[in-house]
Structure 1
Amino acid sequence: MTAVVLVLTGVALVLAVVAWVPKSGATLEIVLSGVMLACLTATGILLLAGHGVQGWREAWWNILLMVSGGLAVAGGGPLTTSVLALVDRGNTRSQSTQQAGEVLRGGALIGALERGAIYGSIVAGWPEGIAIVLAIKGLARYPELRSPDQPASVTPTAVAERFIIGTFTSVLWAVTCAGLLLSR
């Protein structure tokens, strides 16, 4: 079972990296993100059905640590933009969370750093780190969320929705990836 868990997690990491290639919100990115999520779900089910990582050799656990950490950081970006694209279906241009990216610049880099910090704090056994990461992000983004100088092409509601949906998706992804290692 160890090999299957490692292979599924590795496949999910490869899909995460490949999902960065298509245009943000493209159908291919959504499909790749869905398959990546399915691989992670299957991995979780296998770990829950068995004894988790209990009894694993330390070398295999360390490989899972590195691969799932890479998956937490790399996979969250395409997954988040896929979720935002699905949310946008049927919205007008001014309500688009994709357009709100004009206001919330640097989201991909900030999201990767956020996921890395959350993953690291959970794996290190310090879940309080999640609160610190989210507090820093919220305080740093507050001026952009409340600015009256937003472009006319975007509604303030779309900016707030992008921030909330993106943050929740990103955090849940990082927590899920870290959860693989806590299945002892």
Structure 2
Amino acid sequence: MTALVLSLTAVALVLAVLAWIPKSGSNFEIAISGVMLACLAAVGVLLLVNDGVAGWAEHWWDVLLLVAGGLAVAGGGPLTTSVLALADRRSTHAQSTQKAGEVLRGGALIGALERLAIYASLVSGWPEGIAIVLAIKGLARYPELRSPDQPASVTPQAVAERFIIGTFTSVLWAVTCAGLLRSH
């Protein structure tokens, strides 16, 4: 069971890295993200059915800690852009969350750092860290979210939707990856 959990988690990590290659929001990226999510769900089911990682040798738990951390950081980006692309399916160009990405610059790097901080705080047993991460992100992004100087090609609602959808998806992904280890 340990080998299967580690293998599926490693496959999900490889898929997460591969998902950065296609164009952001493409159908191929969405498909890779879906398979990555399915791998993580399978790992979760395996851990639930088999008493989690209790009884694992410490070194295998450490391997899962590192692989799940890599998955939390790398997998959240493609998954978030896939969710944003799915949210945009019926939007006009000005309402597009993809277009709003021009206003919220640096989202991929900020999201990766956010997922790393959330994963680390949960794995270390300090869930209060989530509130600090989200407060810092919200305060830092507030001027961009409320700026009257946004380009006419994007609506303020699209910018706010991108921020909310992106943050929720990213945070939920990091929490899910950290949740794999909570049975230790």
Q: Which residue of 1 aligns with 2:130?
A: 130
- Where does residue 109 of structure 2 map in the other structure? 109
The ranges of structure 1 where at least 4 consecutive aligned residues each deviate by more than 3 angstroms after the TM superposition are: none
Deviation at residue 162 of structure 1 after TM alignment: 0.2
**CA distance in 2 between partners of 1:183 and 1:75 (Å):** 22
1:66 — aligned with what?
A: 66
Equivalent-residue separation in structure 2 for 1:130 and 1:41 (angstroms): 22
The whole-number CA distance in structure 2 between the counterparts of 1:49 and 1:99 is: 43
2:27 and 2:131 map into 1 onto residues whose CA distance is 33
Coordinate RMSD, CA, aligned = 0.4
Paired with 1:122 and 1:73, the residues of 2 have a C-alpha distance of: 14
The Cα of 1:36 is off from its aligned counterpart by: 0.1
Residue 16 of structure 2 is aligned to residue 8 of structure 1:
no
Amino acid across the alignment from 2:138: G
Trace 1:18-97 onto structure 2 (pairs within 5 A).
18-97=18-97
Measure, in 2, the Cα distance between the counterparts of 1:153 and 1:15.
34
Q: Distance in 1 between matches of 2:138 and 2:6?
A: 35
CA drift of 1:17 comes to 0.0
**1:153 alignment partner, SS class:** coil
Counterpart secondary structure, 1:98:
helix
Q: Secondary structure at the match of 2:97?
A: coil
Cα shift at 1:170: 0.1
Three-state SS of the structure 2 residue aligned to 1:161 is: helix
In structure 1, what is the Cα distance between the partners aligned to 2:95 and 2:33? Answer: 24
Shift of 1:90: 1.2
User: So what's the TM-score if we normalise by structure 1?
Assistant: 1.00
Q: Measure how far apart 1:183 and its partner are.
A: 1.9
| 1:154 counterpart residue number | 154
Amino acid at match of 1:86: L
Question: Kindly, what percent of the aligned residue pairs are identical?
Answer: 80
Residue segments in structure 2 that go unaligned for 5+ positions in a row: none
Q: What residue number does 2:176 align with? A: 176
Query: Residue 60 of structure 1: CA displacement?
Result: 0.2
Name the amino acid aligned to 1:76. G
One-letter amino acid of the counterpart of residue 78, structure 1: P
**TM-score, length basis structure 2:** 1.00
For residue 156 of structure 1, what is the amino acid of its counterpart?
P
Residues 7-37 of structure 1, C-alpha deviations (whole Å, 9 max, x = no match): 0000000000000000000000000000000
